[in-house]
Amino acid sequence: MVKIYIRTQRYDEKEGKLIIENIENKEIEDKMNEYIIELDEFFGFKLKETPTVNIVPDRKTINYIRKAETRSHTIGWISGYNVFMLDLDKFDTESAHKRYSLKEYFATIKHELVHVYFYQLIKNPYPTWLWEGTSVALSGQYKPKPEKLSGFLESHFGHNYGPEYMIAPFFVKVLINKYGRDKFILLLNELSKIKQDKTEESKKVFYDLFQRVYEFELNYENANKLFLEK
């Protein structure tokens, strides 16, 4: 068991700076250790640094740290090896997520931790649908099963705040369940070798890579054949 550092970060308007304090939270520390063991095994490598969990109390602190006005749905994010989470007790007043359970909260922490692994491997968050789809799929966050897969491939170089969270995870699960974890990790390892610079050319390079790894063209017709297969 590794020591997980947990701290609060609060923006003090009078001081014009962040007030940072270290805290103890055994539940979060135990869960983080559990997740790290699981994700070390899945991704096939150990993180070079132990992630720190940062709990923030309000939207103004989130906006100050992010240096932008954020959506009310933003409750977690990462920066390097830092996982940031809105305080669970403040969800009702500081976010669009109401009545969030402790189970859902821990799943969101795990979601952000998956992003840490993904980013350390790939060095960028693209394709966006794969970035979010992998985190939702591996964190066990509940999403209602769709009738078919659609809309998520358009979220390649940025968020549409919908299908990449609600639909893409089901495609990721299909890839892992049907073709295995090793082939999925092969896709990520090969993705780490190519440049994703928000151009149509680099998008095509990814599509070609996907076809080489999985031996089928990445499109909704083929995705749904797999998804709807009995």
pLDDT tens sequence across 159-211: 988 999 999 999 999 999 999 999 999 999 999 999 888 999 999 999 999 99
pLDDT, the chain, mean: 96
Sorted by where each begins, the domain ranges of the chain are 1-122, 123-230
β 52-56/6-12 pair status:
parallel
Can you give the pTM of this predicted structure?
A: 0.96
Band of the pLDDT at 230, cuts 50, 70, 90? low
Find out whether 23 and 55 touch, Cβ atoms under 8 Å. yes
pLDDT tens sequence across 93-136: 999 998 899 999 999 999 999 999 999 999 999 999 999 999 99
DSSP state of 154: G
Sheet architecture: strand order including 52-56: 17-23, 6-12, 52-56, 82-86, 76-79
Find out whether 138 and 42 touch, Cβ atoms under 8 Å. yes
62 burial via Cβ count (<10 Å: 0-12, 13-18, 19+): buried
pLDDT tens sequence across 56-89: 999 999 999 999 999 999 999 999 999 999 999 9
Which two tokens mark 1?
């068991």
